Amino acid sequence: MIAKELKRGIITENSIFVLALGLCPTLAVSTSVKNGLGMGLATTFVLICSNIIISIVKNWIPGKVRIPCYIVIIATFVSILHLLIKVYTPTLDSQLGIFIPLIAVNCIILGRAEAFAAKNNPATSLVDGAVMGLGFTAALLILSTIREFLGGNKIFDLMVIPGFQPMAVFILAPGGFFVIACVMGLINYFRGKKGAKAKV
């Protein structure tokens, strides 16, 4: 069951490559593996916490004000997380800067609250938050590895190929789009192939 859930979060319902949610922070922080990892884990934390709380309180929230309520809950966790990051890893705070507070408006989190946590019990919501967060983190890791290598000849701040001239465009937003498009295309190509085979 866990393997199935993991596959759902990381591959079949991957938030970036399949659902195409949360692309703004993805473009912004997938410039280096360190940033991508930090952002992915931070988002996973918020996703798990908000999913649990929302699935607990869902029955007491009137439908008309559910979105503002969800946003308040999400923003609360983001604020608390921001304080914790400032205490424990100030360097991550200075690297990610504005994108930590902006986790509050990441569509994946509100998306999971609305699509999953509001209809399921706390335990399954926890699992959903965890696997979706891991999927987001995995996607960020893939993108940031490619972008940091092509744009800076580095992976995890370590040099890769001696004498390789990095292409700065991959660190910039356009390069981010190129990489996301290529990876998405590849994934769809292979999934399409598999689907076609299954039909035959």
Partner 1 sequence: MTDTIKLILALTLISLIAGFAIGKANYRTKDRIAAKQQAARQGAIDAVFPEGFKIKEMNDDGGILPQKYWIAFSDDKLSGYAFEMAGSGYAGDIRFMVGVGLDGKILGLTVLEHHETPGLGSRVNEVASTKYIWFPFGGDDKTKPWFTEQFEGISTLRPIGVEKSAGEWHRLSEQARAGLRDRNAVSAITGSTITTAAFTRAIERSVSKYLEELGGYCCPATRKKREAEAGAAAGENGEETEGGDDS
Interaction site with partner 1 (CB under 8 A): 28-29, 31-32, 35, 57, 60-62, 64-65, 68-69, 72-73, 75-76, 79-80, 83-84, 86-87, 90, 94-99, 147, 151, 154-160, 162, 168, 171-172
Q: Which lies closer to partner 1 via its Cβ, residue 69 or residue 141?
A: 69
Q: Which lies closer to partner 1 via its Cβ, residue 78 or residue 130?
A: 78
> How many other C-beta atoms are found inside a 10 Å radius of the C-beta of residue 113?
26
Q: Considering the complex, what minimum distance in angstroms separates the CB of residue 87 from partner 1?
A: 5
- The answer to whether 35 touches 154, Cβ cutoff 8 Å, is no
The three state secondary structure string of 140-170 is HHHHHHHHHHHHHCEECCEECCCCCCCCHHH
Q: Which lies closer to partner 1 via its Cβ, residue 157 or residue 181?
A: 157
Q: Considering the complex, what minimum distance in angstroms separates the CB of residue 107 from partner 1?
A: 19
Q: Which lies closer to partner 1 via its Cβ, residue 70 or residue 116?
A: 70
> How many other C-beta atoms are found inside a 10 Å radius of the C-beta of residue 196?
9
Query: What does the buried/exposed string (b/e) look like for 139-170 if buried means 16 or more CB atoms within 10 Å of the residue's CB?
Result: bbebbbbbbbbbbbbeeeeeeeeeeeebeeeb
